[in-house]
Amino acid sequence: MADLDHLLQRTSRTFALTIPALPEPTRREVTLAYLLFRLADTFEDAARWPRGDRLVALDAFVALLTPPEPDAPRVRALTDAWVTARPVDHDGYLELLAETPAVLAASYALPVPRRDIVLLHARRTAEGMARVVTRGSARGDLHLTDLADLRAYCYVVAGIVGELLTDLFVAETPRLAAAVLRDNAVAFGEGLQLVNILKDARDDALEGRVYLPTSLPRAEVFALAREDLTLARGYVLALQDHGAPRGVVAFCAIPVLLAVATLDAVERHGPGAKVPRDAVLAMVRALDERLDRALPALP
């Protein structure tokens, strides 16, 4: 059986920091959801594959995420073909790809309705990514055209994540249904994604992926990101006010803190700016102190 925590460490820096804060069983559910989303993203980002191969892989992956659970020989055959074709050069993503059968089996073994929540949103994301790939060039270049286009892309890759998390949190802690989480779930994901897009704009453009439309003033994107992060703060405080487990509050608060700091750095220094590791650790310590004192998670 695959070591899910090891795969998490190999494929993510931010989620490897935040997911361990979650209580069980939410931690396992979110770990599996992240790994499924990462697999879909690996196919969408498959720099070594032409567009047609990416679409075939995403279509097959959607089928694997559609109950009933697929036959093990079919999953193994697809996995072997994907690994042999080597869609990317990232060793961590390739290791995760090789563990597709184990990740799928663990996902299908989740209790209902959590299994259905994880599979549904992973499937929706893979389907959305296929639409993104269809729009790109044969070799994978992509140019978004306007603000609506940018927001639609952010919804596929991050807004759905906000909806997934909300569904899992409410399934585990039903009293959270009274919070206004769903009103801000998409903005929570969109804000984090906009920060990533602004931070990585230079490197993405070199790879032919222009997520920031040339006709859209950067100031407008920064303003939207800040507006979304304000709503994300409301999402975190609503969790806290309605008695979400401490680990759930911390899991959601850390990326918001990091996103605000990263956005400030990018606005000052331009794309590529990052928050130093010691500053990230200081944020986490300060958050723990606020939670220890029953203060609002986000200042």
Question: What is the rounded average pLDDT of the residues 13-42?
Answer: 95
Residue range 46-72, pLDDT digits in tens = 989 999 999 999 999 999 999 999 999
Amino acid at residue number 22: L
Check whether 17 has a pLDDT greater than 90.
no
Average pLDDT over the chain reads 96
Q: 141-299, superfamily in CATH? A: Farnesyl Diphosphate Synthase (1.10.600.10)
Residue 236 three-state SS: helix
Q: Which among 136, 150, 269 has a CA at the least distance from the CA of 207?
A: 136
Rounded-to-integer distance, Cα 233 and Cα 179, Å: 13
Mean of the pLDDT values across residues 107-113?
97
pLDDT tens across 164-222, in order?
A: 999 999 999 999 998 879 999 999 999 999 999 999 999 999 989 999 999 999 999 99
Token digits of residue 18: 């935040």
Question: How crowded is the C-beta side of 24, counted as CA atoms within 13 Å?
Answer: 3
Residue 1 predicted with pLDDT over 80: no
CB 192 within 8 A of CB 158: yes
Which pair of structure tokens corresponds to residue 105?
């089996």
Q: What is the pLDDT of residues 247-258, one digit of tens each?
A: 999 999 999 999
Residue of 190, 173, 180 whose CA lies nearest to 224? 190
65 in Cβ contact with 118 (< 8 Å): no
- Segment 75-91, tens digit of pLDDT: 999 999 999 999 999 99
pLDDT value of position 47: 85
- The predicted-structure confidence for 274-289, as pLDDT tens digits, reads as follows 999 999 999 999 999 9
pLDDT > 70: percent of the chain: 100
Query: How is the chain split into domains, by residue range?
Result: 1-136, 141-299
Q: Quickly count: other Cβ atoms within 10 Å of residue 95's Cβ.
A: 15
